[in-house]
Amino acid sequence: MSEQMNFLKLSTIPLNTEQSLETDLLEPVVFNDGSATTTGFVRFTLQRKGILHSHSKLLLALKPPTTVSNGFFPPSVGIGAVIESARLMCGNQVINEISSWGNFHSVKSMMISNENNVEREQYTTGRGMSHQFIYTAGDDSQSSNVGFENGREYTGTALSQHPFARMNGVVDASGYLNSSESPTYSIDLSDLFPFLKVHQLPLAQINQDISIELTLTQQEENRACVKNGVDAAKAVYTIDRNELKFCADYIFWGNGDDFQKYMEQNRSQTFSFVDHRLTTTSIASTDTSVIRNIGMANRMVNRIVTTFQNDAGTDVSILNKYGNLAMNKDGNSVVGGIEYNIRYNDRFEYSSNVTNPAQLFTLSQQAEGVPSVVREEYSNEGDLLTTNTYEGSIQNADLGGQFFFVSTRLSAGRVGERGIELHLTLDSQADVTTMRTWSEYLRIGVLEDGIFSFYNA
Amino acid sequence: MTSRTLSIRPDNIPSSGKVSFKNGFPVLSFTIQSQNGMLDPKTIRINGDLKVFRDNIADPNPPGNSGNEPTMDNRLGIYNVFDQVIIRHNKSKQICEHIRNYGRYMTSVLGVGSSKQQLMSPLSESCLIMPNSSAFYETVIKNDKTNPRKASFSAHLSCGFVQSGSLVNLMENSFGGIQCEIHLTPDSNALFGTGGVTTGIGDAHYVLSDLSLTCEVMDIAPEDVAQMSSDTSGEMDFMSITSLYTSINSTNAQLQYSLGLKQLQSVFMNFCPSSHLNTLTQNGMATTYPSNQDKTLGVFNRIQMLRGGVKYPQEFDIVPNNKLDSNTAVVDPQVLRMFMESIVPESIIGKSSMSNMNNNRFYDLSSDAASGKTYLHVPDGGALFGLGCRYSQYNSGQDFSSQQWGLSLDTSLESDNPISVFLYFKSVNKLVWNSAGVQILS
């Protein structure tokens, strides 16, 4: 075995190295489903063996109440709507923690291509944002509108979810519990903790308990959506305890004692990784000028993501509370303005405030990736979205201006003592309640003789 | 390394800040001045707002709901107004790269290299693209005089220098600044009437406002300034486009060029009736089949790619499927594959909007919507026809420096209807620079 081989970096492993996988279905060691108005809590503790595969999956399903016959997950986040926050612990130290994870996930989910959503994600994670032209009857070439696409045909002006995705809590005449047929979806471990997209955890080397702690959203209203005009609002969904599992894949490299030798040769390891710090601000549409210090003094901050939400979003809608609000559009389809800048280290990131929404889109694209959202969804500009319905909710009302975010790669190095200031001039939508900013910053992990320690870079 | 985002205003805009070809501003120019920094050309974006007007009175009227309104090619979005893109070395004003007929280049590149969902989603926000002519008109072009809406764009420049991946040393005694020059498309070629006539839109024009070029420049640390400033000469390789124009008007069309290119990667071309150029009655950006005078489609019965007069790289005639069955409406798959390969190599093509909906022979070249066959209403973004040939498998290219490039076409163009051919040759160029200027070695 090569002295330089590092089993945590795939590129250093020879192609002929033997690899074996072991999969465990772990039950939670702590489970509290919460209540209608309080959050729940789940903890999984991982076994200390092998290397934890970053694409291990959390499996989840919901049981709808008997009053709901057509429950569905918001297509922008899917099953992620159930997770309020995610925390990865090593002993009693926090490795990685993301607050308002569902909202964060709604931004990250925009980077998945529409084709991938409709062909794969809606079956695996419940996410399914995709688009198609809506043609008028008798015309197969000219269309003025775009609508939601999930692979099914519209019935008139109505699009329904797939039968497999439907959450039906109604007990039929024979006493059969339809809720037992609710779909089970998965969440990728590296979606819960994004630093695992580039790192793997050598569990066998760690002499502390590694646990995944998840805060669940309240049972009422925010876990899933209901069909508009059919089901009662404020539905209470509970976790299907039989389906809640963590599917952990453990990787073992080499044959014989290769892996043991590797661990002995690498008793001390240091790596850097990113964590996300959330700053939440309550705002109203009357707050037209916002200057907010989001902290992060003396940190190495790679980028920040800012979104605006309506936390009072209801389940009688397509996106629940997981929309990201763009600026206000008036009755004449004129979209309100935004001026955006950030200031740190005694300088503004942009020499003049960015007012062009397409430029904000491009900046966000350069920082995060390519969002697969149409123009009216992102900036609210252009009356493109259809008035057709999805599960009874009108699409242009529920999707227009609901996929807006601004992300900036910070270019001036370590943030100084005054932290980062957001400078915004806004013409917000009437129902905006919250501004969230996640700052992605660097941390260092040191693993020495099986004990992890962490500090900020 | 720290960096800065620059926002640069055009060199030459009028005091109103509005740029319009019709009103005397055909060239847009941005200068990234020399400074202690390294430019990442990939981050260059042209930002602004687009507005279209149906007349040119003092307070012009925007397009509305009449039967004949000005619009643009929906697959191009903001690229409709970019006719030529020129990158200059600022000190010497010598040209590093120059792409002519940029709009027609981009329509083939965007059509082949982007999926319908990509055209509909991210490119609709950044470049005002929409793969449906009706949706494009309703959301980008149509406006209200009393309550005007914005059509904001932030477009990348697809050209070799920008996409080379090399950083440019902007220091004064190194490469120095660059100038990015965009020649705007004449209104009569960028716009066309939805009804195929000029009635009411004779003075239709577009206006750009709030224009800026943004880019990212990496700072040079004080301790590195001396070393970087000694970087007084150098070279960079990039994939460049050589654009040529010709026309054909016979059943036996022969195209021959002495390219002088050593590493030719591929060639592709698209077609347009010459009568469709620079007129408000037709879409001069559509990439259709050639056509006869009666607006019916012309076809190719035999295609030969030539080098030095000899068939190369295909040592055989390409005989499309219409030769065997003239009634078939399906485009020959070999011709189609060669065209796609010439733009994006098969090994890396991930997504494309090319489909049998936008590449068939079901349409004609009339602009009469009532006919039900107009090329203006071809689904999935519009007609996406072209010919092409890839010469390189591993980016090594083929040497055409001493032998002529040629194309021999046996066509069904039997009427007098000149067809414009826009040719784009992709080759590896070497840009050599020093304090005196730049030189392109092909």
Give the residue from A328, A365, A368, A381 with the most B CB atoms within 10 Å of its CB, the best one to mutate.
A381
Query: What are the φ/ψ torsions at residue B220 (nearest 5 degrees)?
Result: -100, 125
Q: Does B368 score more than 90 pLDDT?
A: no
Q: What is the pLDDT of residue B310?
A: 95
Domain ranges of chain B: 3-232, 236-431
Our CA-based measurement puts residue B120 at a distance from the nearest CA of chain A, in whole angstroms, of 6
CA distance A351 to chain B (A): 7
Please state, in angstroms and rounded to a whole number, the distance separating the CA atoms of residues A2 and B161.
42
Q: B151–A113: do the CB atoms touch at under 8 Å?
A: no
Beta strand extents in B249-373 (DSSP E only): 252-257, 261-273, 300-307, 310-311
pLDDT tops 70 at residue A224: yes
Segment A357-383 shows an average pLDDT of: 96
Average pLDDT over residues A437-451: 94
Q: How confident is the model at residue A19 (pLDDT cuts 50, 70, 90)?
A: confident
Confidence band of A11 (pLDDT split at 50, 70, 90)? low
Give how far Cα B318 sits from Cα of A222, B259, B264, Å.
Answer: 61, 23, 21
Between chains, do B210 and A355 touch, taking CB under 8 Å as contact?
A: yes
Confidence at A5, pLDDT banded by 50, 70, 90? low
Q: What is the rounded CA–CA span in Å between residue A274 and residue A301?
A: 9
- Sheet containing strand A338-344, edge to edge, reads A289-293, A421-426, A338-344, A347-348
User: Tens of pLDDT along B193-221?
Assistant: 999 999 999 999 999 999 999 999 999 98
Q: How many angstroms separate the CA atoms of A167 and B45, rounded? A: 46
Residue among A114, A144, A413 whose CB faces B117 most closely: A114
- The CA R_g of chain B, rounded to the nearest whole Å, is 22
As a whole-number percent, the residues of chain B with pLDDT over 70 amount to 100
ipTM exceeding cut-off 0.85 for this assembly: yes
Q: How confident is the model at residue A8 (pLDDT cuts 50, 70, 90)?
A: low
Apex A66 CA angle, A64 and A68, nearest 5: 60
CB atoms within 10 A of CB A80: 28
pLDDT at position A2 is 45
Convert the pLDDT of each residue in B320-356 to its tens digit. Answer: 999 988 888 899 999 999 999 999 988 888 899 999 9
| Residue labelled with tokens 């919460």 | A34
CATH number of this structure's domain B236-431: 2.70.9
- For residue B74, is pLDDT > 90? yes
**A399 vs A79: CA distance, rounded Å:** 18
The answer to whether the Cα torsion of A252, A254, A260, A266 is positive or negative is negative
Per-residue pLDDT, A258: 77
Separation in Å, CA B20 to CA B49, B102, B194, B199, B301: 12, 18, 21, 21, 43
CA–CA gap between residue A326 and residue B152 (Å, rounded): 15
Residue A85 has, within 13 A of its CA and on its CB side, a CA count of 16
Q: Whole-angstrom Cα distance, residue B113 to residue A233?
A: 45
Mutate to test the interface with B, among A142, A343, A427 (most CBs of B within 10 A): A142
Residue range A97-126: mean pLDDT, rounded: 96
Given this model, what pLDDT does residue B91 score? Answer: 92
What pLDDT is attached to residue A1? 43
How do beta strands A389-390 and A158-159 pair? parallel
Higher pLDDT: B160 or A11? It is B160
**Tens digit of each residue's pLDDT (9 = 90 or more) over A400-429:** 999 999 999 998 889 999 999 999 999 999
Q: Where are the domains of chain A?
A: 10-456
Other Cβ atoms less than 10 A from the Cβ of B117: the count is 24
Please determine, for residue B307, whether its predicted confidence score (pLDDT) is greater than 60. yes
**Which chain B residues contact residue A113 at CB under 8 A?**
115, 117-118, 351
Residues of A in contact with B212 (CB under 8 A): 356
**Rounded alpha-carbon distances, angstroms, from residue B245 to A135, A152, B297, B319, B335:** 38, 46, 21, 25, 21
Q: Superfamily assignment of A10-456 in CATH?
A: Adenovirus Type 2 Hexon, domain 4 (2.70.9.10)
The pLDDT value recorded for residue B334 is 95
- Average pLDDT for residues A289-306, to the nearest whole number? 96
CA distance B348 to B1: 32
pLDDT in tens, B105-141: 999 999 999 999 999 999 999 999 999 999 999 999 9
Task: Tell me the two tokens of residue A39.
Answer: 């959050």
A9 pLDDT exceeds 70? no
* Total count of residues recorded for chain B: 442
Whole-number pLDDT of residue B142: 96
Cβ contacts of B377 on chain A, cutoff 8 Å: 141-142
d(CA B437, CA B94) in angstroms, rounded, equals 7
B3-232 and B236-431: identical CATH topology: yes
Choose among A145, A352, A411: nearest Cβ to B2.
A411
The answer to whether B2 contacts A413, with C-beta atoms less than 8 Å apart, is yes
User: A interface mutation test: which of B9, B49, B123, B139 has the most A CBs within 10 A?
Assistant: B139
How far does A139 lie from chain B, in Å, by closest CA? Answer: 10
* Over residues B159-177, mean pLDDT: 92
**How confident is the model at residue B8, as a pLDDT?**
96
Query: For position B396, what pLDDT does the model report?
Result: 81
Q: Is the pTM of this model over 0.80?
A: yes
Output the six-digit token pair for A284. 């109203």
State the pLDDT at residue B283: 96
Measure in Å the smallest separation between the Cα of B330 and chain A Cα atoms.
Answer: 18
Q: Is the pLDDT of residue B93 over 90?
A: yes
- Mean predicted lDDT score pLDDT of chain B: 94
User: CA–CA distance from A56 to each of A44, A51, B175 (Å)?
Assistant: 13, 11, 50
* CATH architecture of the domain covering B3-232: Distorted Sandwich (2.70)
Interface with chain B: mutation pick from A131, A354, A356, A405, highest number of B CBs within 10 Å: A356
Spell out which residues of chain A touch residue B379, defining contact as CB-CB under 8 Å: 140-141
